[in-house]
Structure 1
């Protein structure tokens, strides 16, 4: 009875430390990047994703850095400042499904439309697949948007028009609620799925970049990244978590004596 109580107490401690149970990739555990990226709770127009995480990941051009656009992508014009986030290296089997949700948000439009993207990279940082690009047009879908390559991922829903107006989201900084011309708004949450052809180790990269000028920022939210049903970026490998559980349980048991 004492040991069971100790185990229960240890589980509560692990949970409070974020070590117990399945972790959401939205918490950005093990993710790295450049510019303005991280995890946040929903606010304004950008609410919790269908994955149901309390927090989700984001990349934003607000307070971004130069040199993060995709080479040769975007058509006429020049990439400006932006941000990228890179997942931890993860293993995938042949045929495993990579899945995640995203929501593209922009205060920019017309001829200055920014863009966001997701890529699957191999362990040497070579592009395996440009999963999608998101960019507004004055009418029509944001994925892929004008002058952008077709997505390699499958999207749900397949139709991705912008929900128009100046989007309210704190991640946009001072441009939250603002809008430059037609094309401002957000897509709402979209599910992306991609079957990985070959077994190996991979990274998932998320990015967003300003186009032609640094005014009127854009951002992308993302959540629930899994491969083969396993979360990308767990806080502690299962054996270490179990070892920690055992040590905590022993410590509680000794104190009870």
Structure 2
């Protein structure tokens, strides 16, 4: 009886110290994605924290040093960047989910914008997943004067005011920490999700573009792009894994168990 109590006490102590602790998953992997312009990955940086998905790094694209692009081709686009996933298979009813955070140093009448599109197997637009663009008053998602997300798409939160100010974020280049007129800032992390209506092959595209000029940059952070819980060309959800400190504690516990067992044998 005493021996059982000792074992239970030790196991409880190990649990209290967190033998199995949540740890971030691997950094996002965009090595198989196609980048046009300025793309990369980052840890928490300035105003842009890690995403709720739990990766140790998120992906980003920026208008800084980007080439000329058409964007959503609604007029006056100048330079920017896109990143497109490899083709993936989805079954009817599978859920596409990802997180994004739009960041801009441009405002007034020069408001840049960002978007996400679901592309078909020929890489033609099939579905508008979100748009983000500030107004001088600071509303950002959905983006004003831009296509609204398709009805089947869910955004959480559904409407987002900008967190105002001159955003501090390295991918903005020399524009980090600056702001042109009203409407600068960032959205914070937003979740977009969609359930496929048809089985097929698709790709996911993120984009960001300068508007009317090439000054004062904008960017988009993204993470956790999954289909039915499986990552698109990269990392999966965070796992419960032992971390080094708790491994040491575990081995300490094993030594303690051996000591308890020895005493019990001597007593008997």
Please give the TM-score of this superposition, normalised by the length of structure 1: 0.78
Name the counterpart of 1:239: none
Counterpart contact for 1:143–1:151, Cα < 8 Å: no
Contact 1:164 1:184 in 2 (8 A): yes
Determine if the alignment matches structure 1 residue 151 to structure 2 residue 149: yes
Residue in 2 that maps onto 1:206: 206
User: 2:57 matched to 1:59?
Assistant: no
Structure 2: distance between partners of 1:23 and 1:47: 16
SS of the residue 2:141 aligns to: coil
- Report how far residue 139 of structure 1 moved: 2.2
The aligned residue for residue 248 of structure 1 is none
Question: What is the distance in 1 between the residues matched to 2:91 and 2:168?
Answer: 40
Unpaired segments ≥5 residues, structure 1: 1-20, 236-257
Match of 2:104 among 103, 106, 120: 106
Runs of 4+ in 1 over 4 A off after TM superposition: 21-24
1:39 counterpart residue number: 41
Are 2:178 and 1:194 aligned?
no
1:162 equivalent to 2:162? Answer: yes
User: Quick one: distance in 2 between partners of 1:88 and 1:22?
Assistant: 21
Residue of structure 2 aligned with 1:118, choices 107, 116, 119:
116
**Which residue is equivalent to 2:262?**
none
Look up the match of 2:242.
none
CA deviations on 1:134-178 (whole Å, 9 max, x unpaired) are: 000122531122211211221111231000000000000000000
- Kindly name which structure, 1 or 2, has the bigger radius of gyration based on alpha carbons: 2
| Partner SS state of residue 27, structure 1 | coil
CA-atom RMSD, angstroms?
Answer: 1.6
**1:249 counterpart residue number:** none
Contact 1:44 1:169 in 2 (8 A): yes
Map of 2:254 onto structure 1: none
Tell whether the 8 Å contact from 1:68 to 1:83 is kept in structure 2 after alignment: no
DSSP 3-state at the match of 2:103: strand
- TM-score of the superposition, structure 2-length normalised? 0.75
- Are the aligned partners of 2:25 and 2:56 in contact in 1 as well (CA < 8 Å)? no
Specify the SS of the correspondent of 2:83.
strand
Match of 2:182 in 1: 182
| 1:87-129 deviation digits (Å, cap 9, x = unpaired) | 1111100111100000000000111000000000011011110
Secondary structure at the residue paired with 2:222?
strand
* C-alpha contact 2:138 2:183 (8 A) present in aligned 1: no
| TM-superposed deviation, 1:50 | 0.3
Distance 1:231 1:103 in 2: 19
For residues 25 and 232 of structure 2, the distance between their equivalents in structure 1, rounded to whole angstroms, comes to 11
2: distance between equivalents of 1:123 and 1:144? 26
Unaligned runs of 5+ in 2: 1-23, 236-268
- Measure the CA separation in 2 of the matches of 1:115 and 1:143: 10
**Count of paired positions:** 210
* 8 Å Cα contact 1:98-1:227 kept in structure 2: yes
Q: Where in structure 2 are the equivalents of 1:214-253 lying within 5 Å?
A: 214-234=214-234
